[in-house]
Amino acid sequence: MNIETYLSMDATEMKDLMKRKQVKPVELMEMSFQQLEKVNSSLNAVIDSRKRHALEEAKRINVDETPFAGVPFLLKNISQALKGSHLTSGSKLLKSFVASEDSNLVKKIRESGFIFMGHTNAPEFGLKNITEPVFHGPTRNPWNTDYSPGGSSGGAAAAIASGIIPIAGASDGGGSIRIPASFSGLFGLKPTRGRTPVGPGTGRQWQGASIDFVLSRSVRDSASMLDRLQVVQPEAAFQTPLFQGRYRDEMRQTFHKPLRIAYTTKSPVDTTVSEDAKSAVMKLVKWLEKEGHFVEEKENGVDGVQLMKDYYVMNSGEISSVVQKLEKTIGRSIKADDVEIETWVLNQAGKSISAAEFSASLSSWDVASAKMAAFHQSYDFYITPATAYTAPKVGELTHSKSAQERLRYEVNELDKDRQQALVYDMFLPSLTYTPFTQLANLTGQPAMSVPIYMSKTGLPLGVQVMASKGEEDRLLKLAYQLEQSDIWEGLKSNPFLKWVAFYLLENIMHVENSNTI
């Protein structure tokens, strides 16, 4: 096998070739590390490599024992703990932390046969929609390295889009799968709350807003992973009934009758939306209408601004809890210069929130969930832009030193209501890029970003589709139909776009003697 063939494959193709003995696991692993070593200095997608261990595992693995035996895989540097490996969550405070055991999700992925190459970059504690941690440095977008691949699963997105691996671990607490999928031309599915494994004692990740899964370059890979990862855990705080079929089989089925679909291009927090984002949605709307489905413009009735305010109350409380636990671990108080500005402001604001206020903020999620459940009585899917714009430039959403100094000062001088207003304003530039994804996290619904649009600047932009709780099968069915159509702009199906990420990277960085084109 040559590198060109490796770069063209998804995880399903890789495992099928190994099952047929046409390629050995160690060959795939060597090519994966070859691509990693070629592009990572430009992208900073992977921050922890376990090359020696991965190659040894590839030599020993039996490809007939597990479904994805020998396929290379990267984990996210938040929550996806691998025994014996560093897990910093993007923070210098955790620079020496080494996981003592695999997380539940990692155990399930390991049972599928994947071989772990290391961990991908992520922002500190997953708090941003970009991946620019001070401790590890920024990750760059393979389509154009001046831009971000998004966050918080930005390292995973850059690793897939640059061809290092076809699938990677990701998580989504406010859009962290769908945002980098949109910015990087990938398929990103956020499953229903409670669908995939969490660790004992950590089942309330962001009070249920956050869920672990994967980013991928093909719909079938995500469907296969949902087949492998769906679980009912007795110890988990949130559970959803197991899907009784196989997602890989169900995605190939057709819809038995025309769908009723609602869409909007209006920001739920009254921020601006680019013409690219509007055009992306209308491209999908026209395709759906052509397929015989009923589509109409309709808002969902949820107060998006209030929902975001309540989301930030949760963020504040959760980060204050994280900081408190870290202080006990390191045996001292954490100071402002120990963490990034977003962590510090949320921590300080969280100290002022009462238990009653925290509880009330979570209750508003349930109100939104009830409204969306009623909304889906009339509509099968709800379509929005995945992101309001194509990717921001690296550094664009990072606060200047003067802004950081102002935020540190003001958060300690304000009462709790104005602290929360400060938090909202602090995140507003980022929220303007990504106002659409948080709803599904707070209601617990499944949602996906599909890569069906390419801007004139050569950057991708995804469209989000939401469904009722437990209906990932219907989302995957629609995604698979789109993937087979001529409007799909993802890396997998279009021969030119399959290579364009690498072509752009090579030309921007002026790398000579490329063997990927």
Which entry of 89, 103, 152, 184 is annotated as an active-site residue? 152
Longest dimension (CA), the chain: 66
- Is-catalytic flag, 176? yes
Tell the burial category of 110 from Cβ atoms under 10 Å away from its Cβ (0-12, 13-18, 19+): middle
Can you say how many angstroms the Cα of residue 246 is from the centroid of all Cα atoms in its chain? 23
**Preceding peptide of 152 cis, ω within 30°:** yes
Q: Is residue 371 within 8 Å of residue 301, measured between CB atoms? A: yes
Which of the following is catalytic: 15, 32, 38, 76? Answer: 76
Rg of the chain on CA atoms, in Å: 21
Neighbouring C-beta atoms of residue 312, cutoff 10 Å: 22
DSSP β-ladder status, 115-120 and 72-76: parallel
CB 56 within 8 A of CB 70: no
- Please tell me the distance from the alpha carbon of residue 186 to that of residue 421, in angstroms, as a whole number: 34
Q: What is the token pair recorded at 81?
A: 């703990």
Contact criterion met (CB below 8 Å) for 25 and 18: yes
Nearest CA to 124 among 99, 149, 93? 93
496, 504 in Cβ contact below 8 A?
Answer: no
The answer to whether residues 47 and 155 touch, using CB atoms and an 8 Å cutoff, is yes
Q: Is 402 a catalytic residue?
A: no
Cα torsion 247, 248, 250, 253: sign: positive
> Could you give the CA distance from residue 501 to residue 517 in angstroms, rounded to a whole number?
11
Q: What is the DSSP letter of 230?
A: -
How would you class 329 by CB atoms within 10 Å of its CB: exposed for 0-12, middle for 13-18, buried for 19 or more? exposed
Residues linked to residue 461 through DSSP beta bridges, in sequence order: 453
Using an 8 Å Cβ cutoff, are 57 and 66 in contact? no
Burial state string for 146-164 with b = 16 or more CB within 10 A and e = fewer than 16:
ebbbbbbbbbbbbbbbbbb
The values of phi and psi at residue 395, to 5°, are 90, -15
Separation in Å, CA 55 to CA 14, 19, 70, 86, 289: 16, 18, 10, 19, 49
Q: Which residues of 15-48 are buried (b: 16+ CB within 10 A; e: fewer)?
A: bebbeeeebbbbbbbbbbbebbebbbebbbbbbb
Nearest to 501 by CA among 158, 178, 181: 158
In 129-220, the DSSP E strands lie at 167-172, 187-190, 211-216
Query: Given 89, 103, 162, 176, which residue is catalytic?
Result: 176
| Amino acid residing at 507 | N
Active site residues: 76, 152, 176
